[in-house]
Amino acid sequence: MTQVTESTSSPNTSLRVLAPFFALFRRQWLMMLVGLILTFTTLLTGIGLLSLSGWFLSATAVAGLTVATAQVFNFFTPAGGVRFFSIARTASRYGERLATHEATFKLLTQLRIWAWQKLLPLSAANLQGLRRGDLLNRLIADIDTLDHLYLRLLTPLVASLLMIAGLFVFLAWFDLSLAMMLCSVLLLAWCVLPVVFYVLGKAPGRALVDAKQQYRVMLLDVIQGQAELSLFAANTRYLTKLEQAQARLFSQQTAMANITGLSQAMLILVNGTAVVLMLYLASQSVGDATPPGPLMALMVFATMASLEMMMPIAGAFQHLSSTLLAAQRVTHIVEQTPAVSFNSHSQLKAKSGALTLQDVHFAYQPTAPILQGVNLTLEAGDKVAILGSTGCGKSSLFGLITREWVAQQGEITLDGQPLAQYNEAELRASMTVVSQRIYLFAGTLRENLALALPYQQGEPKKAHDERLISVLQQVGLEALLQGDKPLDMWIGEGGRQLSGGEQRRIGVARALLRDAPLLLLDEPTEGLDKRTEREILSLLLSFAENKTLLMISHRTTALDKMDAVYRLEQGALQRFCVDC
């Protein structure tokens, strides 16, 4: 299956892709502002602590040169200031970690909710060409990457810029020229270094996101395809490919780590240069003080402390390219227009389940038609089966009836009304589908059954559980009803605690819990033995006695119970004689 790729765009276009995510940030503006203020406070107290400590040590040494100056020197106020800055820095650092991470987690939560809300209306037509591993990677890893926007980009940049302004005001109180010199160097570094490391990190950053995506897709393929890979002795070959993908991922991570190390080395070099320059200039004089004395130490130590506020700057833009690519990949999904639309204002409700397909034509690709003029009529209460070989289009036909896809030509009606006239909730409520693949979730037996029969507020819990237990008994799952609380049994991811037959019976149990007028059976007994197949079909037919039923299959069991049987060949339905 082909994979969707994003086109390369200009820098301005790339930055515009972040606009929807910045818009979401407004919902957490208060916590983000608190985090920014605490980050600024942490930097302020850190510079204040080191500057005051440098001045205090120097001033104490100078005061101790004579007995007279030692006796009049005020040790207590600077010492109190050092303690204050120490405690304030510790408290603000702790608060900053709490606030910024709380804001980040809330932002990620909102991003995921927003992405899922955009994803849910999309149909199979929108997502064709996307492998499940790729889609999973976009919804998890790419959204996780977007936390760089706030935590590693916005907060460090804004806090350091504010700190440069604050440092200028503080140092200008003592010497305007020295303040201008130091803050000019810091501002130049603030403007230039992020651009340099954005350029250096652009290609490795994008390559890292791609390598991570390829590794996750391949890993998911290997895990999900273990049965087939083992059957065809292809495990070794696929594991070798997986190891190669892992090696590429490690290689890109190493490249990014090297750029991180280079960025930190350059910042240390810039800071060291500024310290030497400040040491030389401050040794001449600081303001009106000549020689400068302890004020020189204050200037030098303030310059040394500025390294803390500059260190995150290069790293912020180093990850910008990977953040932009992640944003593009997520946006590519969420900005799609749903290929299948519903009438959200409709109040139609299906009651009989009567179904009509008139001259339906459908193809996934224009050059490969699947259905060519399908005509079928099911009156209320009819039982119809459609036979056909694998790949003939039976499941595609079901996809059109459930509106996962839309036919290029023709019309499908339910109770005499086109499917497009129903809102999505009512259309889903009018159908019960038993597919050949049963989806079970990591949870309890009750939770997996409650998908078909949600617990209603005010309903006696005992009565609800009794209904679930009764249905499990109907489908022959008495073995699962052992113990004091059988419905609380954990069935594992994908129902791994259950056999294939038990999983399929749970799918049938879900169908029995729904009271929809139209019952659609898509290979409902696939993989079951003949005896179990007859039991399941007998149960479903009994359940559908007063419902409209359409079943697709390639097996002939229970066809004698059908009102009509058709064979799907070359994209059209032909009447099939059961007794011939």
3-state secondary structure 336-383: CCCCCCCCCCCCCCCCCCCEEEEEEEEEEECCEEEEEEEEEEECCCCE
| CB crowding 448-485: b at 16 or more within 10 Å, else e | bbbebbeeeeeeeeeebbeebbebbebbbbeebeeeee
Same domain, 479 and 359: yes
Tens of pLDDT, residues 530-554: 887 888 888 888 888 889 999 988 7
Same domain, 359 and 327: no
- pLDDT the model gives residue 456: 67
The answer to whether residue 31 sits within a structural domain is: yes
Residue 427 C-beta-side C-alpha neighbours within 13 Å: 24
Contact call for residues 102 and 31 (beta carbons, < 8 A): yes
Number of compact structural domains in the chain = 2
Tens of pLDDT, residues 413-449: 999 999 989 998 899 889 988 887 888 888 888 888 8
pTM listed for this prediction: 0.71
Same domain, 297 and 178: yes
Q: Rounded distance, CA 312 to CA 426, Å?
A: 53
Tens of pLDDT, residues 82-92: 999 999 999 99
* Residue that finishes a domain, picked among 334, 366, 401: 334
Q: Residue 442 maps to which CATH number?
A: 3.40.50.300
Residue 334 has φ and ψ, to the nearest 5°, of: -75, -20
The answer to whether residue 4 sits within a structural domain is: no
The answer to whether residue 343 sits within a structural domain is: no
CA angle 508, 512, 517 (to 5 degrees): 115
Same domain, 295 and 244: yes
The answer to whether residue 506 sits within a structural domain is: yes
Q: How far is CA 556 from CA 433, 511, 524, 578, 579, in A?
A: 20, 22, 12, 8, 11
Same domain, 293 and 440: no
Same domain, 84 and 143: yes
- pLDDT the model gives residue 259: 86
Burial of 63 (0-12, 13-18, 19+ CB in 10 A): middle
Which range in 217-221, 227-231, 383-387, 570-574 is most confidently predicted, on average pLDDT? Answer: 383-387
Q: Rounded distance, CA 16 to CA 288, Å?
A: 50
Q: How far is CA 87 from CA 190, 306, 466, in A?
A: 29, 19, 61
403: alpha, beta or left, given left = phi > 0 and alpha = psi -120 to 50?
A: left
Same domain, 117 and 256: yes
Same domain, 110 and 235: yes
Tens of pLDDT, residues 140-191: 878 887 877 788 788 888 888 999 999 999 888 888 888 899 999 999 988 8
Q: Domain containing 412: what range?
A: 355-575
The answer to whether residue 99 sits within a structural domain is: yes
The answer to whether residue 35 sits within a structural domain is: yes
- pLDDT the model gives residue 282: 85
Contact call for residues 201 and 319 (beta carbons, < 8 A): yes
Q: Rounded distance, CA 189 to CA 310, Å?
A: 8
- pLDDT the model gives residue 289: 65
Tell me the pLDDT band of 578, cut-offs 50, 70 and 90: low
The answer to whether residue 1 sits within a structural domain is: no
Tens of pLDDT, residues 471-505: 888 888 888 888 778 888 888 777 778 887 788 88
Same domain, 284 and 406: no
Contact call for residues 125 and 405 (beta carbons, < 8 A): yes
Is the pLDDT score of 9 beyond 50?
Answer: no
At residue 132, the 3 state secondary structure works out as: helix
Tell me the pLDDT band of 98, cut-offs 50, 70 and 90: very high
* Residue that finishes a domain, picked among 334, 366, 384: 334
* Residue that finishes a domain, picked among 303, 334, 365: 334
The answer to whether residue 349 sits within a structural domain is: no
Is the pLDDT score of 11 beyond 70?
Answer: no
Tell me the pLDDT band of 5, cut-offs 50, 70 and 90: very low
Contact call for residues 386 and 551 (beta carbons, < 8 A): yes
Tell me the pLDDT band of 457, cut-offs 50, 70 and 90: low
- pLDDT the model gives residue 412: 93
Which whole number is the average pLDDT over 294-305? Answer: 87
Q: Rounded distance, CA 505 to CA 526, Å?
A: 11
Q: Rounded distance, CA 53 to CA 175, Å?
A: 19
Q: What is the CA radius of gyration of the chain?
A: 34
Q: Residue 148 maps to which CATH number?
A: 1.20.1560.10
Q: Rounded distance, CA 164 to CA 160, Å?
A: 6
Place of tokens 């179990």: 532
Same domain, 369 and 314: no
Same domain, 89 and 229: yes
Same domain, 205 and 76: yes
